[in-house]
A and B are shown apart, each in its own frame.
Chain A
């Protein structure tokens, strides 16, 4: 119907002489700022990343030392990059297996008219609006071996407190906890919005038919929440792929590269060392992963939504 209206509108105003000049003026004045900014600061840099990734270049003069695929080969031979990929995958898995179920559980508890729900929703959403850097630094304090909570809990049992973020085996787990803490509230809000779309009469009917709570959840809530869940999974994965700020505030990718992700790897090996070619190769890999994932996901999992 909407498109029909549109077409009718076009037909009417595309007639000879009706404001043709005005429309051209709109297009010529209103579109170029967006196109120019986007081309200069998004499209060109992305294309240049692909080009620079074929060179060995420190950023001065013009790139002349063509090395072909060497940067990509080096990249996939770097152990720290393997760790980074593994860690990104770990963040995705924990987001899907821990964070989203927690978000859904909280949404189910808060979707009704229980007294105080607004307050709980706000509290759970609060970490999401905090800057990642601030959240990361707060948790750096929590994990601190001299001053933090964790240390105090350990001391209460008479053990020497660990410096959680300095232990390669513990640091990544500590980061995962912060990720869940920071983002579950956002997904919870999505789920609450989705739950409110489900008609109460369905639940009534199911009750009358004698369905149990689990059956109702399994047969009504979960299927009808499908589109919301697919959307939230999409955000969780895209966010996990880009994880950067929180890690910078907590560990900067250390100790000994154990908490690198793709973007922190790009920062510590590309940006700080001014390895434009090598860093651009990381950017290209990241780009391909993001685009393939986004297209594939929308194509195969969200096509009906």
Chain B
């Protein structure tokens, strides 16, 4: 760093010494990670050990805490419920919003702009605003305590983002493709299925990531719609577990660690797509 005047990062960080920069970064990273690490380690401790020493390594590693949860059915049932709800939500949101976006891009008809703006209204307010009428509606449709009672409203509230992202992407596909396809006798439906969708993998991934993460973490809607524990997704499940074992923090921490584990593994395995998906989706949405 003797003659780095032209390096933008030097200008950005205000000529701060490298060591100091690392010190600040490490401090913040420590504050970010400490609660998560303490939770994971806490799950390995006995209650007495946890009480005396919440930060450090366990005096004796109590694998039992984790093993008891993993060998029971409760944890797996929660994961399965969350997975079913999230997968159904993703498939349906992607299918329905890609179809609608394709129509908005390739078929012009009277009122198209109006309908497009109508769907975009969904971006303006959260599901919480209409949660009580939504509850009444789901009850009257007989969908309380069912996966669909959570999936369908989630799809409806995710549509706006999906339609907007898909439309912006479909519009950028070169129009020569469309012309060539039509000259070759390809109809709209084949064009959509064989040309548009295969070319849209990046945006399909983005929309899927956004919708999946939202559904996987969702709390309010399942809380209102689901009463039976056998249908609970994991955020409801850990709240219930915490309520039952509120005095045994070591078990609760083991349970929390296991429930966030899939998300953390997924995140590190596909971090590029997830970071890009969640932020670009937010920006374009």
Cβ A30 vs Cβ B11 within 8 A = no
Known pairs A26-B107, A34-B97, A112-B9; A244 contacts B220 (CB<8 A) = yes
Q: A181-B32, A283-B129 are in contact. Are A213 and B55 (CB under 8 A)?
A: no
Question: B205 at interface (Cβ–Cβ under 8 A)?
Answer: no
Closest Cβ of chain B to A264, distance in Å, is 10
Q: Which residue of B lies closest to A234 (CB)?
A: B282
Min CB gap B133→A, angstroms: 4
- Tell me if B7 is interfacial: C-beta within 8 Å of chain A: yes
Is B202 positioned at the interface, with any CB of A under 8 Å from its CB?
no
Interface SS, A side = helix
Count of residues in A whose CB is under 8 Å from the partner chain: 114
Question: Closest CB-CB distance, B140 to chain A, in whole Å?
Answer: 10
Query: Min CB distance, B164 to chain A, in Å?
Result: 12
With A34-B97, A130-B263, A248-B219 as contacts: A111 and B9 at CB distance below 8 Å: yes
A181 near B31 with CB under 8 A, answer yes
Per DSSP, chain B at the interface is helix
Give the chain B neighbours of A138 by CB distance below 8 A: 35-36, 39, 253, 256
Bound-state Cα–Cα, A195 to B13, Å: 12
Q: Is B204 among interface residues, defined by CB-CB distance under 8 A?
A: no
Q: How far is the CA of A266 from the CA of B51 in the complex (A)?
A: 36
Contact status A59-B156, CB under 8 Å: no
| Pair A270/B132 contact, Cβ less than 8 Å | yes
Chain B residues whose CB sits within 8 angstroms of the CB of A185 once the complex forms:
32
Q: Is B238 touching A133 in the complex (CB atoms < 8 A)?
A: yes
A267 within 8 A of B: yes
Q: In the complex the two chains form, is B28's CB within 8 Å of A106's CB?
A: yes
A38 with B156: in contact, given A112-B12, A186-B278 (CB under 8 Å)?
Answer: yes
B92 CB to nearest chain A CB (Å): 8
Assuming the contacts A13-B182, A190-B279, asked whether A290 and B163 have C-beta atoms less than 8 A apart, the reply is no
With contact pairs A34-B159, A111-B12 given, residues A142 and B35 touching in the complex (Cβ less than 8 Å): yes
Give the docked Cα–Cα distance between A207 and B5 (Å): 7
A-chain residues with CB within 8 Å of residue B195 when the two chains form the complex: none
Q: A34-B119, A134-B260, A276-B136 are in contact. Are A124 and B32 (CB under 8 A)?
A: yes
Closest chain A residue to B132, Cβ basis: A279
Does any Cβ of A come within 8 Å of B24's Cβ?
yes
The reply to whether A131 and B103 form a contact with Cβ atoms under 8 Å apart is no
Instruction: Please report the C-alpha to C-alpha distance between residue A287 and residue B220 in the assembled complex, in whole angstroms.
Output: 16
Name which residue of chain B comes closest to A185, CB basis: B32
B188 & A38 in contact (Cβ 8 Å cutoff): no
Given contacts A45-B137, A198-B8, A266-B131, 4 further A-B contacts (CB under 8 A): A33-B96, A108-B12, A131-B219, A279-B132
